[in-house]
Structure 1
Amino acid sequence: MLGAAAGALAVWSFGFAQASEDAVVVPPPAIDLQPAEGVQTAVIAGGCFWGVQGVFQHTAGVLNAVSGYAGGGKMTANYTAVSTGATGHAEAVEIKYDPKQISYGKILQIFFSVVHDPTELNRQGPDSGTQYRSAIFTSNDEQKKVAEAYIAQLDAAKLFKKPIVTKIGALEGFYAAEAYHQDYLTLHPNQPYIAFNDLPKIDNLKKLFAQQYLEKPTLVSSAKATN
């Protein structure tokens, strides 16, 4: 991401304020989880976790969204190792949500609509490598069924120019990223990478999901303070 930021800075110097992020309007999933009691968890990966976390921090019903790593082991769950692309980890976001306010399916709809391009294999925008892959890490069979059915639904509708490459796999562990990665979008809105690649995602969330959009983000720091 840091190398990508340098590339974004070069574009920035020519006067472009933001990347051209074309959101794909996708329908809600035909199959969704039944409302449950208590806080629920979703773990997804869609490129650099700064933007993914930022989108869901602006989403109503999300109680906390934490940047981290999933898909690999505990010993390699750090930014230096993950950046090699050889750990099995993806940059992921753990989403704690209130199912009475937002469903698992709605989270996936936002994920496929405005968070990332699910047809890009092992990359997102300027970032390339398996750590930037599109993935859904499921906690149970019910999540797996919803995710699989939704991808099949979207592929059948041919809403994207290419097939969806999002991988679905069982969540074996989520490891929070280093403190400096948390709340990054909110803390660094003028950082060229954020302004160029990620702020358009927030704009698209506001336009396409007005009922779910929160103007004031729910930050990791504030979520910890309320626990």
Structure 2
Amino acid sequence: MRMRAALAAAALAVTATACQQVAHAAEDPVAAPAAKRLSKERGGLKTAVFAGGCFWGVEAVFSHVKGVTAAVSGYHGGTERQASYKLVSSGVTDHAEAVRITYDPAVIRYDQLLRIFFSVVADPTQLNRQGPDVGAHYRSAIVPMSAEQNAVAKAYLAQLKAAGIWDRPIVTRIERAQAFYPAEGEHQNFMLKNPRNAYILRWDAPKVKALKAMYPGVYSARFLRD
């Protein structure tokens, strides 16, 4: 267990050269620091929920992380009756487009997932939007699924705010876990199914490239499937 954790930590090392190589990405990646408060999760597979704008890109990035065994796009919060792409994307519901991932903490820790999220997935300074997508349903949020995840998330957010990495205030929120409704089938594995889609090429493919360049040790070339 300790050896695998040490290998995972080493794999997340970021080099200045790698950051320069991905500086052309649609949204520039940021070399978020390693967490000081490490996750202590034990006992098999865990789940985590992240909201970071359009779920296509969030799912695509985490789908390429070693130790992640499933990544499902969906809607967090709100009601089941309103959990549809048409309604959520209209901005009339309380949902957030989000991704529920399943991961093995012996391979990739929760604090390392947070680091990836803030490095290449979402800009934590954008309020109720990400890139070209505007609305509260595109907010960036961390949804802890356990007391341990909550403690790690709070500590890491505090660490990032103290580090002063971004020029603007961090507005990413920690939200209470609510119901998660999987999105329609057409939105699952969207990047895998639509690699030449204009939105994917402009906004999401650069995030996956940034993951590979910045964290090659945890990057997996395979794409998770339903």
TM-score normalised by the chain length of structure 1: 0.87
- Give the RMSD, CA atoms, in angstroms: 1.1
Q: Deviation per CA, 1:33-74, whole angstroms, max 9, x where unpaired?
A: 213111100001000000000001111000000000002121
Q: 1:21 to 1:217 in 2, by over 3 A?
A: same
Deviation at 1:113, TM superposition (A): 0.2
1:63 alignment counterpart: 69
1:164 alignment counterpart: 170
Q: Equivalent of 2:126, from 105, 120, 129? A: 120
Whole-Å separation in 1 of the counterparts to 2:207 and 2:150? 26
1:137 alignment counterpart: 143
Q: Deviation per CA, 1:105-135, whole angstroms, max 9, x where unpaired?
A: 0111000000011110000111000010001
User: Tell me, what secondary structure is at the counterpart of 2:56?
Assistant: helix
User: Tell me, what secondary structure is at the counterpart of 1:66?
Assistant: strand
> Is the contact between residue 140 and residue 170 of structure 1 (CA under 8 Å) also seen in structure 2?
no
Alignment of 1:144-159 (within 5 A): 144-159=150-165
1:189 alignment counterpart: 195
Alignment of 1:1-227 (within 5 A): 20-220=26-226
Matched letter for residue 101 of structure 1: V
> Is the contact between residue 38 and residue 98 of structure 1 (CA under 8 Å) also seen in structure 2?
yes
Whole-Å separation in 2 of the counterparts to 1:199 and 1:27? 23
Matched letter for residue 186 of structure 1: L
Matched letter for residue 196 of structure 1: R
2:20 alignment counterpart: none
Whole-Å separation in 2 of the counterparts to 1:54 and 1:20? 15
Matched letter for residue 124 of structure 1: Q
- Structure 1 segments, 4+ long, off by >6 Å, are none
Between 19-28 and 174-183, report the one with greater CA deviation. Answer: 19-28
Matched letter for residue 187 of structure 2: H
Percent identity (aligned): 49
TM-score normalised by the chain length of structure 2: 0.87
Deviation at 1:141, TM superposition (A): 2.0
Deviation at 1:140, TM superposition (A): 2.1
Number of aligned pairs?
203
User: Tell me, what secondary structure is at the counterpart of 1:154?
Assistant: helix
Deviation at 1:19, TM superposition (A): 5.2
Q: 1:207 to 1:19 in 2, by over 3 A?
A: closer
Matched letter for residue 110 of structure 2: Y
* Structure 1: segments with no counterpart, 5+ residues: 1-17, 221-227
